[in-house]
Structure 1
Amino acid sequence: MKSFAVIGVGRFGRAVATTLYTLGCEVLVIDKNEQIIQSIADEVTHAVTVETLDEATLKALGIRNYDAVIVAIGDELEASMLVSLMLKELGVKYIISKAQGELHAKLLTKIGIDKVILPERDIGERVANTLVNTNIIDFIELSPEYSIAEISPPSQWVVKTLVNLDLRTKHRINVISIINGKEVNVNPRPEYTIKNGDRLAVIGCTNDINSLNKTKI
């Protein structure tokens, strides 16, 4: 079971924490507001009220043992920077920090945070990608180079098997799941035949995914 810690329980932090818990992950949430912690306690694994977050407290909570820590206190720049820096110095495996603006994002990047999130910018980019690339239903950037996208297969793909399409060789993308209605086929077999109504979750270089909109098979 993967484990995550979320520091700061605003709208963003709550959404991340409760979704991870729903997906079967162990989730620790930390916030200075006791009422907020009480309101989310039944929706996560552990919920802790901490008025002053320092290195000793983070160590006592076993923060280094979590697979990733999400710093969701983007509205308080100084607190966000301080907590992110402490996590970095404590050797946390993977740190995701929410930024409140471009300057905040640059500062977080400078101190070596693994992933910096600007929610409005990131959502805007996802919407733009789905508008420009008509086959793309949804789009998630994993890094500057790689993304996951949910796509509608071009008509030329329908009634062809994955092995015949050979998407890995021809387009440098991998199909990680296929969704049709309520059915989800994770890691589909090579002989799977694409059907009308299928939605493919693919992973690959962002440029390769974007190029699918211009490609015919």
Structure 2
Amino acid sequence: MADRTSEPVVVVGLGRFGTSLALELTRRGTEVLAIDRRPKVVQSLAGHITHVVTADSTDIEALRQLGVPDFYRAVVAIGGDLEASILTASLMVELEIDDIWAKAISRQHGRILSRIGVQHVVFPEHDMGERVAHMVSGRMLDYIEVDENFALIKTRPPKEYVGVPLGESNLRRKHGVTVVAVKSPGEEFTYATADTELGYGDVIIVSGRTEQVERFAELP
């Protein structure tokens, strides 16, 4: 199968989410066609994104004229206007874009997008809120859910595991988690091994089922 990761991306909707996405893709060297119906927004981003144009994404002829059917991947980043979001996504499906991503602002919105053929529905506000909630309410320094019930967290080592080689700690048997990487003060992250001993000032990356890493992060 051909590698499609470096192919150009069309991003529709240049609110905070769409703009951040388009700018980051451009920074990474990906060619981006960014579309928004507001001329002032488009003008402000000219020169910062590969191609940025003013157009109505709910007009299929406008999308055709911009060459959107030639793209393999598209992101519908419209959030505030549900009708425009759904119609634009349906046009991307009609234009047979192979890999469609779309922002949803509610579960109902997300279900509609999925039903019309969007392969990847994202909930940026919900996901960021959940991530921050985990950090605010506990000892986690960062939290990333990588699957429905599997997460990576950044935290400090519990006292009982400081100075104990990981191979002797029985962390996986006791808590169902694995220490993936360790960062000592003034140093970079390194992969954890069975011989790694954790220190009080260390920061660790831990993986496991969501409820297990949450419990582990609360250990004193």
Pair in the same fold by TM > 0.5: yes
Structure 2 match to 1:51: 55
Structure 2 match to 1:117: 123
Structure 2: distance between partners of 1:35 and 1:174: 49
1:77-112 per-position Cα deviation (integer Å, ceiling 9, x unaligned): 12211333344563534x442223343233224445
- 1:108 and 2:113 matched: yes
Structure 2: distance between partners of 1:180 and 1:43: 37
- 1:210 and 2:203 matched: no
Structure 2 match to 1:199: 203
Structure 1: distance between partners of 2:93 and 2:178: 33
Correspondence for 2:82 among 77, 81, 84 = 77
- What secondary structure sits across from 2:19 in the alignment? helix
Tell me which amino acid in the other structure corresponds to 1:203.
S
Aligned-pair CA distance for 1:150: 1.9
**Length-normalised TM-score, structure 2:** 0.71
- 1:40 and 2:45 matched: yes
Matched-pair identity in % = 26
**Length-normalised TM-score, structure 1:** 0.72
Q: Which moved more, 1:138-147 or 1:179-188?
A: 179-188
Structure 1: distance between partners of 2:152 and 2:29: 20
1:38-88 per-position Cα deviation (integer Å, ceiling 9, x unaligned): 5335544x233151444643223x2x1x4xx43211112122113333445
Q: Unpaired runs of 5+ in structure 1?
A: none
Aligned-pair CA distance for 1:196: 2.5
Structure 2 match to 1:10: 15
- 1:146 and 2:129 matched: no
Structure 1: distance between partners of 2:186 and 2:42: 34
Structure 2: distance between partners of 1:115 and 1:150: 26
Describe the shift of the 1:188–1:73 C-alpha distance in structure 2 as closer, same or farther (beyond 3 A): same
Describe the shift of the 1:156–1:16 C-alpha distance in structure 2 as closer, same or farther (beyond 3 A): farther
